[in-house]
Amino acid sequence: MASREERRRDILFSAIKIFSQNGFHKSKIQEIAEDAGVGKGTIYEYFDSKKNLFQEMIKYVMELHIAEIQKSILGKNGFREQIESFFRHKLKVLQEHGDVFQQVANQPEVMSEEMKRQMLGLKLEIFGLMESVVKEGIASGDLRQDLNLEVATASLLGTMNQYSVKKIYIEKLKYNEVDLEVVIDTLMKGFSI
C-alpha cells in the first residue's frame, strides 16, 4: 500500500500530465483522480481545491528542478563540466515539463500572491546555484578574475533560457540532441576578438 507521501506524489504527477494536456480551466479533478488511480475525494484529502493542486504541482516541479540542478553540478570537475551539466538538465526539464511552465505563463491569474512569492524565491535559489558555480569558476581560474558575478550569472542563465527554448520548442530537438559545445564555447570565449 502506498504511503501518504507516495500517494501525494502520484497525484502531483497525474496533475502534471492532465494540466499540461488540457490547461488549468479544462482539466477536471476526476481526470486527475482516475490517472492517479484514486477517488476524486482522495484528492481533496491532499489539496483544498483545483487551484491549490495546480499551485502545489508548480511548486513540486520547481523543487524537483532545483534538486536535479544540485545533483547535476555535484561531482563535476571544473566550470565547463558543471555548466554543461546544468545546461543539459535545463534542456531536459523544458522537454519534460515545459507544458507546465507554459500553463503558468498563460494563466497567471491561477497563481496566488503567496505562490508568486514562493516561485520568485525558487527562481532566486536557481540564480544562487548558478552564482556559486560562477564563483567557483572564478576562484579556480577557469574564469576571469574581473568578472562581475551577478552579470556573469544572469548572462549564463539568460543564454540557457533563450537557447533552450529555441532548441526544444521551436526546433523540436530532444534535450540530448542539442549541441552545447558551440554555445559553451561562445560563452567561455566571449564576443571580442
Number of structural domains the chain divides into: 2
Read off the pLDDT of residues 115-155 as tens digits, 9 standing for 90 and up: 888 888 988 999 999 999 999 999 999 999 999 999 999 99
CB 84 within 8 A of CB 185: no
pTM for the predicted model, two decimal places: 0.81
* 179 and 146 part of one domain: yes
For the record, the C-alpha cell of 41 comes out as 475525494
Read off the pLDDT of residues 47-85 as tens digits, 9 standing for 90 and up: 999 999 998 988 888 888 888 888 888 878 889 999 999
Residues 87, 90: Cα–Cα separation, whole Å: 5
Provide the domain limits for residue 33.
1-47
For the record, the C-alpha cell of 136 comes out as 567557483
Residues 80, 88: Cα–Cα separation, whole Å: 12
* 77 and 8 part of one domain: no
109 SS3 class: helix
